[in-house]
A = this chain, B = another copy of it.
């Protein structure tokens, strides 16, 4: 489940239209459509705004949004999982220090 899929779920479950969300984000509908389909990446501030509009968890949406970007970097790389593991370790180290 990527970010776009999730916000589409939330949007549809609340009976909202793309153009309503788009207007709130001050982008046009085609752009919002692309974000939902994962063709374009939302900006961080847009993620926060979307969470607010859809009364969704900011943390959940940010996590999905970050995960999309991570996946984009490592997909088709043989070392994908190893790279993730290294990053994980380094971040844990930074946190505990």
Instruction: Give residues in A with beta carbon < 8 Å to B.
Output: 59, 62-64, 66-67, 69-71, 73-75, 77-84, 86-88, 90-92, 94
Q: Which of B70, B78, B90 meets A59, CB within 8 Å?
A: B78
- Contact A87–B84 (Cβ < 8 Å): yes
- Contact B83–A63 (Cβ < 8 Å): yes
Nearest-neighbour CB distance to chain B for A77, whole angstroms, equals: 6
Nearest-neighbour CB distance to chain B for A86, whole angstroms, equals: 4
- Contact B73–A69 (Cβ < 8 Å): yes
Q: How far is the CA of A50 from the CA of B91 in the complex (A)?
A: 26
Contacts of A66 in B (CB 8 A): 73-74, 77, 79-80, 83
